[in-house]
Each structure stands twice: as C-alpha cells, then as structure tokens.
Copies of this chain bind each other. A is one copy, B any other.
Amino acid sequence: MEDFKPTSTNQPGRQYPQVNSEGRVRARIEAPQAHTVLLDIGGVRYPMTQGEDGAWIGDSRPQDEGFHYYQLVIDGARVPDPGSLYFFGANRWGSGVEVPAHDQDFYAIKDVPHGRVQKILFPSGSTSTIRRAFVYTPPDYGKDLSKRYPVLYLQHGWGEDETGWANQGRVNLIMDNLIAEGKARPFIIVMTYGMTNEIRFGGIREFDIRPFQTVLVDELIPYIDANFRTRSDQPHRAMAGLSMGGMETRLITMNNLDLFSHIGLFSGGTISASDITDRDVFKQKIKLVFVSCGSRENPGRFRPAVDSLQQAGISAVSYVSPDTAHEWQTWRRSFYQFAQLLFQ
C-alpha cells in the first residue's frame, strides 16, 4: 500500500521514517558510499536498496499497532536513524517508531487539562548515589493546595529505564485523558530506575530484589511522601510494572503488604492463591490484583492464577490486549484499564 506517511515519532520536520496503513515501516537514509544498509526492527532485519540519488530506502513487514524500537545497520554499524526521536530501551537510547493504532485516541494529546511530569533527584544512602525519578502530578495538583493524592509506583521493563513510561508509554497523556473523562481518580505516578547496577545492566537471572526494594521502600517512598502532597497510608499506595517491573512489583508488594493495596502486573508474571501464605491478611490488605498481557504472549498462563484469586475471595482482574505482543501497546492499554480500577 503506497500510503506511507511520516510518523508521530519523527524528529521535527523529518520526512522519514514513514508508516503505511498496513503498519509497514519505511526507512530512508542518505549513505552514498555504503555497501549495504539494513532496517532492523526488534532484531528482524530488512534489506534497503540504494536509489539513484544515493539514498537507501527499505520497508519492513507489517508491524503490530503501537511503538517499536529499531535501528539502521550501515555497512555493519548499528546506529540510530537520524530521522527519528530517541527512546531508552534494549539497553540503549535509540530510534523508535509509532505505528498508528485503531485505539490511539486514549493516549492522544488533547485540549484537556494537563498534568505535569517532573524530574526529581533524591538521595539514596544505600547505593551512595543521587537517583532520578519522574513524577506525574494530575492537572489539578497545583490548584487546591490542601488536597492530597494517592500514589502509584510504576516500573519499566528490563533494558528500559525511568523515562519509558512518560515517553513511549505516554502515561501522562493517558491519565490526563482518563481524568478529563471522569474515568479515573486523580493520583500521582512515580517512576524510577528499577535496578541498582548503574554501570552495567545485570542479567535478569541473577537479579536480586533487595537492593532495589531498599531504594524504593526505604528511600523513595519517604522522599515522595515528604515532598509531594500524598496520601501516605497503605490504602492509597499502589505498585505496578511491566515485564521485569511486574516481577519487581510482585516481589516488593508481597514483601510489604502493609505498604501497598493495589498491584498491577503487565506482561510480568502472576500471583496465584497458592503463592499467598496468609489469605485473610492478603484479602484484608490487597484491594486489587490486576494481571495482563498481550494476546500474542501467553494469556492462558495467568488465567488460572487469577481464577484462583477470585475463588479465594480476592479482588482480581485480568486483561488481554488484542493483537499485541510483549510491547508498549500492550502496556499502554494495560495501564489504561488498571488506572480506572485504582483507589476506587
């Protein structure tokens, strides 16, 4: 289909990359002396061909709706596409491309009251670092200075960082739109880096939750409660995460039932009734367990777990994102569903 258009994730004024109505991505780069140029989306490489003007051009096969990381390979050099904006994922700042989705309205930028995303720096004694977090405050946060808000701690996946949710995740726009439509209660969202190995990214197999749990529970939460107008009791604190961030959420919330009341696992494991040592305490403390993934992942794996929670009288909700895999469109939609259930 020759209906390719520049994408919303292009750099200002750039004509490429483009996407067509089938979801094919077309890249173009001027590389007059190159031998071979490839378009690499999620590890799948597509050949590009050189035109008479010296520029190389090539198309991918149709991609799922939503956001994808990609790169160009020029004579063996793996580099970002100078036409795209850059996003942190796959352990690097690199190119991303947005494939328009049929449901993109829920994360579109609209003329509604907008919340703010703040970059904060907080001291971490346990890691001897000054750490960064991003904090979303809802549109009315600056208006009524006596009002306090529940808080969601929201984690990224492995190879990503604390910038992901507000950049490619568009979580601030999803919240702005939900609040404008009266579909979600306003809450604060806190996003920080979910690993404590700043220099090298650790393998996920040897991952130890304790260092990050210390940062989150003993350092970040007290900092947020001291510096933002939060409701700092357990019923008004939630945690969620995608992929590795879901695994972290599961471990940290199960270790700290006195701190969190709502749990969200997006493409990041499950909790089943058999995981819970004291069901009465869990049922009393935990108001929501939300479990989701894309239809192209393995939804069958978490359904029995959610069923077991429901049978045990625990409030549990599952969600499957249609026609998506382990990717941001799944997580945008998961957040959209989850946010409507929080702090009700």
Q: Which residues of A come within 8 Å of B, CB atoms?
A: 11-13, 29-37, 54, 71-72, 74-82, 85-86, 91-94, 109-111, 114, 116-123, 130, 135, 142-143, 145, 166, 172, 198-201, 227-228
Partner of A75, one of B33, B172, B199: B33
Number of copies of chain A assembled together = 2
- Return the 10 tightest CB-CB contacts between A and B, nearest first: A31-B77, A33-B75, A114-B121, A32-B76, A34-B75, A118-B118, A79-B79, A116-B118, A117-B119, A33-B76
- Assess the A201–B13 pair: CB atoms within 8 A: yes
A/B interface sample: 19 pairs, CB < 8 A: A11-B93, A31-B76, A32-B76, A34-B34, A34-B74, A34-B77, A35-B35, A54-B76, A74-B79, A75-B75, A79-B79, A79-B80, A86-B86, A109-B130, A110-B130, A116-B119, A118-B119, A119-B166, A143-B227
In the bound complex, residues from chain B placing their C-beta under 8 Å from that of A200 are 13
- Assess the B32–A75 pair: CB atoms within 8 A: yes
In the bound complex, residues from chain B placing their C-beta under 8 Å from that of A33 are 35-36, 75-76
Nearest B residue (CB) for A81: B79
Partner of A130, one of B79, B114, B122, B228: B114
Nearest B residue (CB) for A86: B86
Cα(A228)–Cα(B116), bound, Å = 12
Apart from the given pairs A37-B77, A80-B86, A116-B118, 19 other A-B contacts in the complex at a CB distance below 8 Å: A31-B74, A31-B75, A31-B77, A32-B75, A33-B36, A33-B75, A34-B34, A35-B35, A35-B75, A71-B82, A74-B74, A79-B81, A82-B92, A82-B94, A86-B86, A114-B122, A116-B135, A119-B166, A145-B145
Nearest B residue (CB) for A80: B80
Nearest B residue (CB) for A125: B111
- Assess the A80–B82 pair: CB atoms within 8 A: yes
In the bound complex, residues from chain B placing their C-beta under 8 Å from that of A118 are 116-119
| Nearest Cβ on chain B to A75's Cβ, whole angstroms | 4
In the bound complex, residues from chain B placing their C-beta under 8 Å from that of A201 are 12-13
In the bound complex, residues from chain B placing their C-beta under 8 Å from that of A35 are 33, 35, 75
In the bound complex, residues from chain B placing their C-beta under 8 Å from that of A122 are 114
Nearest B residue (CB) for A32: B76
Cα(A303)–Cα(B158), bound, Å = 55
- Assess the B76–A77 pair: CB atoms within 8 A: no
In the bound complex, residues from chain B placing their C-beta under 8 Å from that of A77 are 29-31, 34, 37, 74, 79
In the bound complex, residues from chain B placing their C-beta under 8 Å from that of A199 are 12-13
Cα(A233)–Cα(B77), bound, Å = 55
Cα(A11)–Cα(B161), bound, Å = 12
Nearest B residue (CB) for A128: B111
| Nearest Cβ on chain B to A98's Cβ, whole angstroms | 15
Cα(A35)–Cα(B11), bound, Å = 28
Nearest B residue (CB) for A14: B92
In the bound complex, residues from chain B placing their C-beta under 8 Å from that of A74 are 31, 34, 74-75, 77, 79
- Assess the A130–B111 pair: CB atoms within 8 A: yes
Cα(A227)–Cα(B145), bound, Å = 11
